[in-house]
Structure 1
Amino acid sequence: MFTGLVADTGTVERIAPRQGGVRLALRPHTLEVDALQPGESVACSGCCLTVVERGAGLVSFDAVPETLSRTTIGTWRPGTVVNLERALALGDRLGGHLVQGHVDGIGEVLARRPEGQGARLTVSLPAPIAPLVAEKGSIAIDGVSLTVAAAGRESFEVALIPETLARTTLGAAQPGTKVNLEADVLARHVARLRELATPGLDAERLAGWGYGEGGAR
């Protein structure tokens, strides 16, 4: 679990084919590599990956075919800069929102325009997650926790403050840039509950299942 507050960025140094997937070697810019433990999770531009090796300033992760097909990782090359966040520890401050590192889809930056000291991005919205994105709700773009400024059927907008532009890869995002999207986990579960809602659900049926006054004990 993550918060969507990017701690560092890193640069891809090596990509090696590995049993249908790839092994990525990244060089974090400020994150202490020796502090990372093999087996721990790190969000790499919003995708939860497991540390498999670290040393000499590099940290390596394996990405399987499923990951490559559903995220932007399949397009990464040596020199690609990615956002990095270590997993949330119990007791840490939750300054962003709950982010799982499970990418729901890939969006494309459609427009970028200055807005005050920051910038506003318009991003395409894949149809499967459109119902999960609402104005003033939360969304993670390349692992960055952001508030949705406006939402339509096929696109949404976010406002980026100078701090976000300076500390994350979104500072370089331009029309045509592909980004990983993760909808709010709470919205995902609400949508699933509505999808599986039982027609005719009422107090009597709930009581028969043990809910409410007079229900089974």
Structure 2
Amino acid sequence: MNFAMEYIIDKLLGDRCVPITVETLQISVDRVHYIFSKNLNMICKNLDVSIIETGVTLDTILHTSSYPLKSLSLSNTWAFAHPIILTAELLIVPTSDHFHRITNARVHAISLSGDFKLFIYEWLENGREIGTEFTIGGFRGRDYAKKMVCDIKEEFDERFQVVRRSHFPLSIAIKMNDFSEIYVFYDDIMERSKVYFKVQPTQF
């Protein structure tokens, strides 16, 4: 069975002079050793990978025009300093555990885990470029998303200038400096609500 799969992939994808163009490429752990054993030449804009070893090998199969990736979805914890990860326009990670370590401009965590507020402290201490946007969710129903925003306001109100921008849906702004702020809000959607953290110019 393994030989048959390898033969089929070789005939379909291997040793092509012109790159194969795909919009989305998903690589799972049970197929990766077949694909990476071949001399592939692929152009891909949206990539979904599930194993930590994949990043080292992607350079051998993806054409240089694939970068920067429009989106990169990870199912495992990676070394976030890898160039493929750093240049992705949108990085999708399983949980928010490592938000404080990620330097990408746009990041989405599928679920909440650990003390997600660590990255807010990191941004306030070290700064972050305007245009940065992190999201967490979606949550089933908006109540949990609203509670997250309320908890953030309560924690940061004592040490930082926090302004309530609206009551429904609830949004707040945490002052970073004289020129920028972290705008925190949730989308008012009953199903799969998300919480947003955007660095934007200070609104007076």
| TM-score bracket for the superposition, by shorter chain length | under 0.3
Q: TM-score, normalised by structure 1?
A: 0.24
Bigger fraction of residues in helix: 2
Q: If the length of structure 2 is used for normalisation, what is the TM-score?
A: 0.25
Higher relative contact order (CA 8 A, sep 6+): 1
Q: Which structure dedicates a bigger proportion of its chain to strand?
A: 1
